[in-house]
Structure 1
Amino acid sequence: MDDPTSILAAFDPTNTLGSLLIGGFIAVFLFGLSTVQTYLYYREYPKDHRPLKFMVAFVWICELAHTICITDSIYVAVITFYGQPEKLVKLPPALNLTVAFGAPVTAAVQMFYTDRIRRFIGRRIYIPISLWFLSGIRMIGSYVLVVVSFKIPSVTEYVADWGWMFTLLFTMGAFVDVAIAIALVANLYTHRKHVFSPTLKVLDRLIWWTIQTGLVTSIIAVAVVICFQTMKSNLIWITIYTCLGKVYSNSFMAVLNARNSFRNDEAIYEVNVPTGMLFANNSASSDTAQGHEMGLDRLEDTDIGSVSLHSKSIERRVA
């Protein structure tokens, strides 16, 4: 058990309560963004398939519970335990529960992207299976840490006894994010060789967007691990962690809401950040003009949330 006298002497409100407050503010802001995106999704895509709608609702509900736990933790730490830093030896129960609600969001988003990989990976099914397995292990491990956090009497003992597992799980999550980004970019780059110039610009933008999404979540996960390993005596690592699940949910919703974002007079693009692709070609000709239509069509129930890309160009007959 930690000595209260030593706790009072070492207590730094800037790196504990201050960092917790900052993390809470950022998390609430990000939850607001995801709420707006969720509303826009249901308004703009009422005909999406039910499983995808249920998944969006599940992610938002988990994020709501996650946000409630964060705000409750801040209230307990700042108001209820005001002037009693020795009470912060053990983290508020609600703060432990943030892991329970954040883990399924991370797993759901990673598995969603992995399913997109499965649709174009061909016979190399071991790749998505491996990513699904790692995502599942990370979620199960997160629940183990939640149970342990309620039983261990202090943060110090928690870090000393279970810090290795915390580090392993977040490193695993970063690896899965990078692997997903690489696979999706590789798929886009392959299709890049077989499209026309207008569509090429869209694919280039999608490639850059996919890289950014994978890098952001990976960098945040690595930052949590670095802060956890180098600053175990404060709560800065928790500050960063509280924002990680929000980044996943916002990136997921941005993907779904981006499908109708590219439009102009000569080409119509309905774009979803790369989640599996299927090209279709149709052509027709006449005495005066030749039409060439190439589309990445919206698939049926079996391909929930797939990309939709449609471009249409007309080539005039050369005399």
Structure 2
Amino acid sequence: MASTELPPNIAVLAAPALFGHLFNYGLFGVLSVQVYIYYASFPADPKYLKALIYGLFAVECAQVAVATSDAYAVFGAGYGNFAALTGVHLLWMTPIFSSIVSSSVQCFYAWRIYHLAEKSVYLSVLIVLVALTQGSGCMASGITVHLLGSSDAGIQRTRASTTVWLAGSLACDVLIAGSMLFFLSRKKQGLASDAMLSRIIRLTVETGVLTATIACIDLVLFLAFPDANYHFAPALVLSKLYSNSFMVLFNNRTSMRNFRGGVHTSGGRIWFQTTGSGEAESRMRGQSDTRLATQDISLTKLPGAVQCEISTVVEQDYHSDMRKTSAMSSESLA
């Protein structure tokens, strides 16, 4: 029978979980749209990337199913029952799903940084170790809650592992954002391709700061208010923020198609299309069907034409973060 006597602090116990579920559903909707955009826009991407993206989406679907079961047990079948509100139910599985998503995304960034840093192993290994550490702490928190329940002993036992989880996520996100900012900035050469690099840098820093901020807020709320559920809201949405940030960087390629006349993707690669006029453009189209994949191309001066120079290979591997940066310049001739 449902209890009719509820504690005076019922709001600090129920409201964070309620808002956490609402935000979780909203971000899952955004993620679903992003995955569909990826499916429709990049069918030629390598199979390992598709497996990673669709695998993470499957994990997020499972997390939403578990969260829905928990929400029903607390706010549906257990409405007004204080024992249902404080029970663990399937909530212990959420940190496990979160650890899989966050660790996978962070390890993928470590792989990108490995190529950006000209295959320097030490920094990438450090990021992977921090990512696996925080993922292990996250998974340990969920398993501990499942074994010990929501008792005081269980909460105290999860304090250390949860701190490792959230502090490790914060440290790893800051390390990734800083490394990407440093190495991508070094690729700038004062040429037209810098606009694309600037966009990638901005997105990387913004997404890294977002996930690091939410992890920091979650950590502060968990340590400062151990008797309240304030930290539930950010904890429930943390994995969705990682997966959405991950998809933003992949789907950003669609907006790059307008860069310098257009960007086309095929097989996980980006092809830059430069714009020209007159006879120069006709020669370019005739030689490569508007897709340039040659090296050290230069067009001689032609009356009323545009001189285009490509100093490095224009066909680049996007998923290795443009190890060979394209440098294009255009100069109008009299």
Tell me the equivalent position of 2:158: 162
Cα displacement string for residues 67-111 of structure 1 (whole angstroms, at most 9, x for unaligned residues): 11111111111122222213444322x111111112111111111
Taking the aligned partners of 1:306 and 1:132, their CA distance within structure 2 comes to 18
Say if 2:44 is the partner of 1:47: yes
Taking the aligned partners of 1:173 and 1:244, their CA distance within structure 2 comes to 10
Say if 2:247 is the partner of 1:250: no
Tell me the equivalent position of 1:70: 67
Pick the aligned partner of 2:14 from 6, 14, 17. Answer: 17
* Bigger Rg, which one: 2
**Aligned pairs, number:** 299
Say if 2:331 is the partner of 1:315: yes
- 1:290 to 1:98, Cα distance in 2 relative to 1, 3 A: same
Q: CA RMSD in A?
A: 2.7
Cα displacement string for residues 212-269 of structure 1 (whole angstroms, at most 9, x for unaligned residues): 1111000100100000011122212011111110011001111111112034485435
Displacement of 1:24: 0.4
Instruction: Give the aligned residue type for 1:268.
Output: G
Q: Which runs of 5+ in 1 are unaligned?
A: 272-279
Write the mapping of 1:126-275 to structure 2, written as runs, cut at 5 A.
126-192=122-188, 194-196=189-191, 198-264=192-258, 266-269=260-263
On the 8 A contact 1:26/1:243 being kept in 2, the answer is yes
Displacement of 1:152: 0.8
Taking the aligned partners of 1:67 and 1:265, their CA distance within structure 2 comes to 37
TM-score normalised over the length of structure 2: 0.81
On the 8 A contact 2:184/2:197 being kept in 1, the answer is yes
Say if 2:297 is the partner of 1:283: yes
Q: Which runs of 5+ in 2 are unaligned?
A: 266-293
- 1:117 to 1:15, Cα distance in 2 relative to 1, 3 A: same
Tell me the equivalent position of 1:276: none
Displacement of 1:145: 2.0
Tell me the equivalent position of 1:275: none
Q: Secondary structure at the match of 1:95?
A: coil
Instruction: Give the aligned residue type for 1:297.
Output: E
Tell me the equivalent position of 2:284: none
On the 8 A contact 1:11/1:85 being kept in 2, the answer is no
Taking the aligned partners of 1:251 and 1:219, their CA distance within structure 2 comes to 13
Identity of aligned residues (%): 22
Write the mapping of 1:75-154 to structure 2, written as runs, cut at 5 A.
75-92=72-89, 94-122=90-118, 124-154=120-150
On the 8 A contact 2:98/2:138 being kept in 1, the answer is no
Say if 2:306 is the partner of 1:292: no
Q: Secondary structure at the match of 2:231?
A: helix
- 1:180 to 1:317, Cα distance in 2 relative to 1, 3 A: same
